[in-house]
Structure 1
Amino acid sequence: MRHLARRAARFLLIALALAVTACSGSEEDASAPRTDFNIGWSIYAGWMPWPYAQQAGIVKKWEDKYGVKIKFVQVNDYIESVNQYTAGKLDGVTVANMDALTIPAAGGKDTSAIILGDYSNGNDAVLLKGADGVAGIKGRQVYLAELSVSHYLLARALETSGMKLTDVKTVNTSDADIAAAFASPDVTAAVAWNPQVTTMKGVAGTKAVFTSADIPGEILDLMVVDTAVLKANPNLGKALAGIWYETMSLMARQDAEGAAARAAMAKLAGTTPEEFEGQLATTFLYADPKAALMAMASPDLVTTMTRVRDFSFAQGLFGQGARSADAVGMEFPGGTTLGDKAAITLRFDPTYMQLAADGKL
């Protein structure tokens, strides 16, 4: 899923990335009209429609319509894809809401979320051995990718049971190592995401005591684009929306053509059609632009992002210079804002989903 394990030097990397961006003059380039764009993606069930669309010719159709060229660039390490976007090497990237806030936006890069793609609806889970509920976690060592959505899920699980993060001890574990670590009898608590969760649930005595399905709509997956690039090149946003919703329409079909599309996505993700279907079952895809618009305009999104930013600030993810959770400004549909209005760097922009919903693409 969203690989967030290696954050030890995250602020140094962000600072260096922004310095490189400034020195290369890419801010000037960002605000200039152009036709060629690079969009980063990494393997996750909710993001596989993008490379599939390129493979299936859907991307070319929308490129031709809007006179643009879009290269979808696979980055095997998720966090590296977000760093490359922050550095200006990519014009957009697939990213989780928390990371859009804590990496580019917190680093000062003005970013627009233009497509609300899905939310994790069970892909992320708190796993315990020998316990039937969250209460059994108290006092345990919990293995997870620290300062990630797994850490956020743990905090929410503890909160619902009247506990705090201080009631457990976390052990930072990479996504590559967590399934193997959990196989050890000495490791009795972990938080992870699919496909690792599926493997880990197979360990004897293991139960998922809390999942992202218990906090629907909080772990969101987005397509974000550099705001300056988008402003100068609105056809990029139109093409991306067209690509996404045409692919969603095909993917949702319960016939041979839909099954073939999903099987092709599974192959691109390096998994079997059966395993991919299982991951989709715990991913709530916003296949209908009207549904995505409603979710983006809902007060629930502001509530979710308030929780996310408060957690992020408490964990030091806004950097040493941030004096409060309001340090990073966010803007939502209808002009609602959260945080510093003079420092808005994360915008939930419904413009292109609205065009799709209105049939105007």
Structure 2
Amino acid sequence: MLNGIRSAGRIALIACALLVASCSPAADAPAEPKTEFNIGWSIYAGWMPWPFAQQAGIVKKWADKYGVQIKFVQVNDYVESVNQYTAGKLDGVTVANMDALTIPAAGGKDTSAIIVGDYSNGNDGILLKGADNLSAIKGRQVYLVELSVSHYLLARGLESAGMALTDVKTVNTSDADIVGAFAAPEVTAAVAWNPQLSTMRATPGTKQVFSSADIPGEILDLLVVDTATLKANPNLGKALAGIWYETMALMHRQDAEGKAARAAMAKLAGTTPEEFESQLATTFLYADPKAALEAISSPALLTTMTRVRDFSFSKGLFGQGAKSADAVGMSFPGNKTLGDTQNITLRFDPTFMQMAADGKL
């Protein structure tokens, strides 16, 4: 599964968030300097550059430069990768912005997003049968993975059409079952991500009426690292930034080497080069560190994360102890913050992207 894994199994993630105080080190515990690090990843088009870089020797090149050892560890289930990071078994992980907020950060694990890798630019969509306008969704049962980015996309789509989540009835459906469910004639509305989305969109009489391309920059995919570990070991951040941007430059080449790199990523993802290219077309990769810096420094990110945290709080994803959407603090470049400034546990850290942009890696 290429793009779907990143959002599945929200209930398990919520459970780990609620237990994190007992399954991970204290947020303010100082980390020891070390030289060996494990970074978790799961299969998704925007994250395939990381395992490719390991395979191609790019990871070793940058790790050697900064005197560290970095191992990218594949975790077959996205849920498990975030759980392992939250429990302190991984030093970093690939994760979507909503999940970074509602799982480790909401559970008290101080987390820094040091690479903003991409945003979904059409990988996620709302489908209707027998209609070509989102307004027709009113009153329908909508099949989706509840409490995932699909649920967030539905909320944003309804908002754009002057409706609310109360105007539909959601039916929780796993990512593994949603294609089969949508094939049933009585199922007329669904929200999904690729590759399931493209399969479902081919169903006769089906139209895509809203997608993540309509809310660009809101479903972000990140590389996050434990903040205490990063503070004690800044060379880890430098190496990771070097790895990412060298790999970005290679995979964006329109020559034989670039094509070979993308084909190798497709193989690592278990798909064909053609399918992988198709999914890259709906994934906006931040290949240029200056573009990534602009994205995380923009007021638009604060607006997005306000929407994400308000949605997450409304669905109980901050845990029973959270009294408001301000319970979890976030920080952004330029000393900007959201939420409780005494409880900042999600940080959009521009340090290493800035070093890449300045040619100082």
Seen in structure 2, the aligned counterparts of structure 1 residues 43 and 140 have a Cα distance that, compared at 3 Å, is same
Distance 2:240 2:181 in 1: 39
Distance 1:3 1:64 in 2: 30
Partner of 1:49: 49
Partner of 1:18: 21
Consecutive unaligned residues in structure 1, runs of 5 or more: none
Offset from partner CA, 1:279-313 (integer Å, 9 cap, x none): 00000000000111111111110111011111111
Please report how far the alpha carbon of residue 7 of structure 1 lies from its aligned counterpart in structure 2 after TM superposition: 2.7
Offset from partner CA, 1:290-342 (integer Å, 9 cap, x none): 11111111111011101111111111111111111100000000100000000
Partner of 1:309: 309
Partner of 1:320: 320
Identity percentage of aligned residues: 78
Partner of 2:255: 255
Matched-pair contact (CA < 8 Å) for 2:54–2:60 = yes
Partner of 1:241: 241
Distance 2:16 2:291 in 1: 36
Matched-pair contact (CA < 8 Å) for 1:329–1:338 = yes
Offset from partner CA, 1:194-215 (integer Å, 9 cap, x none): 1111111111111110000000
SS at match of 1:203: coil
1:8 and 2:16 equivalent? no
Deviates more, 1:132-141 or 1:5-14: 5-14
Offset from partner CA, 1:36-57 (integer Å, 9 cap, x none): 0010111010000000000000
Consecutive unaligned residues in structure 2, runs of 5 or more: none
**Counterpart amino acid of residue 313 in structure 1:** F
Matched-pair contact (CA < 8 Å) for 1:5–1:173 = no
SS at match of 2:321: coil
1:153 and 2:149 equivalent? no
Please report how far the alpha carbon of residue 17 of structure 1 lies from its aligned counterpart in structure 2 after TM superposition: 4.1
Matched-pair contact (CA < 8 Å) for 2:310–2:325 = yes
Distance 2:248 2:229 in 1: 25
SS at match of 1:337: strand
Distance 1:321 1:15 in 2: 9
SS at match of 2:10: coil
Partner of 1:34: 34
Distance 2:155 2:14 in 1: 22
Seen in structure 2, the aligned counterparts of structure 1 residues 323 and 26 have a Cα distance that, compared at 3 Å, is closer
SS at match of 1:122: coil
Distance 2:66 2:304 in 1: 34
Please report how far the alpha carbon of residue 3 of structure 1 lies from its aligned counterpart in structure 2 after TM superposition: 3.7
Partner of 2:358: 358
* Number of equivalent positions: 358
Partner of 2:291: 291
Distance 2:110 2:255 in 1: 41
**Counterpart amino acid of residue 117 in structure 1:** G
TM-score by length of 2: 0.97
Matched-pair contact (CA < 8 Å) for 2:20–2:109 = no
SS at match of 2:19: helix
* Correspondence list, 1:58-137, <5 A: 58-137=58-137
Matched-pair contact (CA < 8 Å) for 2:142–2:169 = yes
TM-score by length of 1: 0.97
Please give the root-mean-square deviation of Cα atoms over the aligned residues, in Å: 1.3
Matched-pair contact (CA < 8 Å) for 1:133–1:209 = yes
Distance 1:221 1:344 in 2: 20
